[in-house]
Homo-oligomer: A and B are copies of this chain.
Amino acid sequence: MPIVVDNLLRTVTGDCEQIKELLATEGVRIEQIVSHGRASPEGFWYDQPEAEWVVLLKGSATLLIEGEPVVTLRAGDYLLIPAHLRHRVEQTSEDALWLAVHFRDQTKLSSRT
């Protein structure tokens, strides 16, 4: 299988949120998410069956997580969102770029986020 290299930080133009699936296996899914300043739709909350480890690689963002204080993120910040913990993206900068790793977490051994 030839090795293929692509780039995560290349500028993605557009005016709505764009999600690119970089890898998908039965157990793990990796996505690049370009926010273009968009928040989650009004009243919308994510309630995901899988855990999500997510890092903001560029820009800034504000997350709302049910039962938690407001989470403000700057470039490089990462966190683990357990499965079914309701959350929404309240605000993002125009250049916000995320890398998200979704996985099943029934057997989580440790987390140092």
Contacts and interface: CB of A to CB of B under 8 A. Distances in A.
B71 A22 contact: no
A66 to B, nearest CB: 10
B109 A73 contact: no
Contacts of A68: 2-3
A13 interface: no
A9 B73 CA distance: 12
Contact of A76 (B8, B77, B113): B8
Given A22-B111, A28-B28, A30-B53, 11 more contacts: A5-B78, A6-B113, A8-B76, A10-B76, A20-B112, A22-B112, A23-B101, A24-B111, A25-B105, A25-B107, A27-B27
